Structure formats: structure tokens, C-alpha cells
A and B are shown apart, each in its own frame.
Chain A
């Protein structure tokens, strides 16, 4: 039920956004567009700002401060994300285009098909908390939805708090030559495997 509601709210939010952006009645940009077709699972994200802002170069994010205290300090859900650009693979340089104010960018296409790109929706008030999404369009269709804000007040544990803006990075995996003390991986032998093997062996002895 929650999922349906969420999906419904999403659709409404996106439709609302499209209407507003194509209406060109507001002098302020409601969203920014990254004019790029993502080739990996992680899409570049451009968050909206109330006024035109220069976007930090991606290197700032990639090598930016990730001080330890950030992890331990109490976090409160933020309603307005700070402008940030997310970069996927090091091999792919996303072309990030920010729509300059006061010209809003139309995202709707007359044919009814969507235009390829990533679109950040407004912060919407879902009944259980604020929500903001980035919709990715590829091939004229909604191909992915990323949450910039996610309702968090249903979560009961103190430990669990919503981070305002997911900033995910991607890379192609590559074998490392370094020696390590311990290896983390999926369970090497499972009870199911042992059980199955012993059953098979039991059969084999008959």
C-alpha cells in the first residue's frame, strides 16, 4: 500500500513539475537539467536552488571533505538540498547544464513523449514527510527515479536518519594487487550447500 502511495505521489509530483515548468509563468527555474544520457546506473544529479547558483565542479565532490565527524554528528533531515553535482564513472564526464534564471526550461515535449535527461522535481509534502525525486528519462520514457529526500519519520530507530541528498559515485571495478588481512564476500559455503551435498552423498552411497 505504501509503495502504491509512494508511486502515486511520485507521478503526481512529476506531473505537477512538468506542468509548472512548461507553463513559463514563474521567473524562477524550478529545476535544472543535465542534458546527458546516463550510461551507468548512477545518474548525475543536479539539485534545484531557489536562485541561480554556480555549481561546484565535480572534483569538489569527488575529493571533497568527508570528515569523520560528519558521520557521527547528529543529522537532521534537510528540506532544501545544497547544490551538488554527482559524478558517475571517472571515464565519463557528465555535461551538466544549468538553466540560467530567469528562463525556465521546458521539459515537456509536444508529442507527449519525455525528453531525455534527468529532472529534479520540487520538494513535495508526502503525508509522512518531505520527498524530492530525480526522474531519469531515456528513450523518451521514465527509466529511473532517484530520491533526493525520502520520508524518514516512519523509521523507529534513533540510528536511522535520512540523509538529505544521496550522492552516489560509480566506478568500474578493477582487481587490486594489495594484500589484505581479511576478505569480505558472499558466504563461501552455505548450510544449504552442505545440506545438499550431504544429501547427495547419502544418495550416492545407496
Chain B
């Protein structure tokens, strides 16, 4: 079964294959509830969220929930590992962990499904994906990279297996990623960057800082063990990392 709901301001899709047990709908409902919880906790658009209470100084990070403390720790780690290109403080000076929360939440959701005994499924939120097992035809899940210049097209087909896929781009939301070291400048030389990583959390947390590096981002991904990337620049030329090709074959 497959279902899409709008949570966290984006469509979230779950598909569980070949399991018509009576518990599947309930388990999927629990996953959607989990995303609602994440949104309530981390949204910078909800005044009652823990993140906004921290931003207003009403709550200290130390006193916040375990999930919030975990996200802060992971943000700090990612900042170090990306040489400062990942920054939880956004342009308006607000603590905004959304660059890491989405992938983290998708991975947690996938782990919950695995714990419930599901083998063949995927969780997709806002274009970031954690797949597992195989699709309804018993084949590997196929993932298309959207054409940043034409939303209706895909320009690449991937078979990520059980790895995670995350894409950052400027083509839909306008400029939503910027170089934290040059706050005033937008990224304009690249329009899309897709990262395949050990899981969607890892892919997502590195795609944001790599995108902020502009054309150097793909070289940064190249330096990361276990990560591959596919970058599309403003001239519609794609550049990929040395091991990316292995995801193009349906094994």
C-alpha cells in the first residue's frame, strides 16, 4: 500500500510492498504521526515548537528533549565535518535545523518500519528518499532525478538499493540555500545536487553544505567515503563523482 500526506509543509509518501496484513495501515499511520511529532518539535514556523522556544530563550538546549539535543549535537558534528558550510543558524539569525531534521526523520521512520518487520518499502519526504528491499515487481527501487529545468522530466535513473538519496536545488523554492560564509550571496552556479549516502540522514546532512559550496560541492562529496553525488549546473551540464555510475545499473 502507498499513501501520501502533507506534513512539515511537504508531501510525504510511504509505500509498503506485498504486505496486506491488517497491521500495515496502522503502522503507516504511526509513521505519519511520527512526522507530525517531528514537525511540532522542530518547525520554525510553529511558535510552540521546542526550536522556537529555544530561539526565544524560553528553553535551554540542555533542558530540551532528547531528540532536540540529538539534532543540536548532529548539527555541530556536521558543521565541523563540512568545514563550516553547514550552519544551523540561518540568514535571519534563527536556529533552524531543517537542513538536517528531514533526513534524520526519514531515516528514523524507515527504521521504525524495519523494526515492525517490513522488508520492502520506501519513505520519501520532499524529494529525499530512504528505500529498502525491492518494489512491487520484486525489482530494485528506481529513483529518478528531477530535471531542474523541467519539473515533469527526469534526467537520471538510479538504483540506490538500501542507501539514502537526498537532493538540494534552487529551482523550486527560489534560493533557499546560501553560503553561510557569505550570507548575502545566493548560490547561482549550480541548480541541483543529488547525494547518495549510507542512509538518507547521511545523504541529507551533507547535501546541504555541499550545495552551499557551489561547484566545489561535488569535489567535497568526492572526498567523503561512502558518498556519491550528481550535480547539475546552470548550463545543464551534470558532473558526477567517481563511483556514481554504480547506482545507474539495475543490479
Residues in A lying within 8 Å of B, measured CB to CB: 2, 40-42, 66, 68, 70-72, 75, 89, 146-147, 150, 152, 155-157, 159-163, 166-176, 178-195
Map CB proximity to A onto B136-147 as digits: 1 under 8 Å, 0 otherwise. Answer: 000001111111
Chain B residue at minimal CB-CB distance from A86: B242
Question: In the complex, which residues 138-194 of chain B have their Cβ closer than 8 Å to any Cβ of chain A?
Answer: 141-148, 150-151, 153-158, 165-173, 176, 192, 194
Question: In the complex, which residues 101-147 of chain B have their Cβ closer than 8 Å to any Cβ of chain A?
Answer: 102, 122, 124, 126-129, 131, 135, 141-147
**A168 with B218: in contact, given A183-B127, A183-B154, A190-B9 (CB under 8 Å)?**
yes
Please indicate the chain B residues that have their CB under 8 angstroms from the CB of A186 in the complex.
127, 146, 148, 167-173, 192
B56 beta carbon closer than 8 Å to chain A: no
Q: Are A182 and B147 in contact (CB under 8 A)?
A: no
Q: Name the one of A89, A147, A192 contacting B237, with C-beta atoms under 8 angstroms.
A: A89
Q: Are B77 and A41 in contact (CB under 8 A)?
A: no
Q: Are A182 and B131 in contact (CB under 8 A)?
A: yes
**A173 with B131: in contact, given A163-B225, A166-B219, A166-B222 (CB under 8 Å)?**
no
Minimum C-beta distance from A166 to chain B (A): 4
Q: Name the one of B126, B150, B155, B194 contacting A188, with C-beta atoms under 8 angstroms.
A: B126
Minimum C-beta distance from A91 to chain B (A): 11
Question: In the complex, which residues 194-242 of chain B have their Cβ closer than 8 Å to any Cβ of chain A?
Answer: 194, 198, 202, 215, 218-219, 222-226, 232-233, 235-242
B80 beta carbon closer than 8 Å to chain A: yes
Please indicate the chain A residues that have their CB under 8 angstroms from the CB of B122 in the complex.
181-182
Please indicate the chain A residues that have their CB under 8 angstroms from the CB of B157 in the complex.
176, 178, 180
Give the complex CA separation of A158 and B58 in angstroms: 36
Please indicate the chain B residues that have their CB under 8 angstroms from the CB of A172 in the complex.
236-238
Q: Name the one of A70, A171, A185 contacting B238, with C-beta atoms under 8 angstroms.
A: A171
Residues in B lying within 8 Å of A, measured CB to CB: 6, 8-11, 13, 15, 43-45, 77, 80-81, 83, 98, 102, 122, 124, 126-129, 131, 135, 141-148, 150-151, 153-158, 165-173, 176, 192, 194, 198, 202, 215, 218-219, 222-226, 232-233, 235-246
Please indicate the chain A residues that have their CB under 8 angstroms from the CB of B192 in the complex.
185-186
Q: Are B242 and A195 in contact (CB under 8 A)?
A: no
A sample of 8 inter-chain contacts (CB < 8 A) reads A156-B81, A159-B224, A167-B222, A169-B245, A173-B156, A181-B135, A182-B131, A184-B144
Give the complex CA separation of A23 and B202 in angstroms: 48
Most chain B CB within 10 A, of A170, A179, A186, A195, is at A186
Chain B residue at minimal CB-CB distance from A61: B242
Q: Are A184 and B239 in contact (CB under 8 A)?
A: no
Give the complex CA separation of A166 and B171 in angstroms: 27
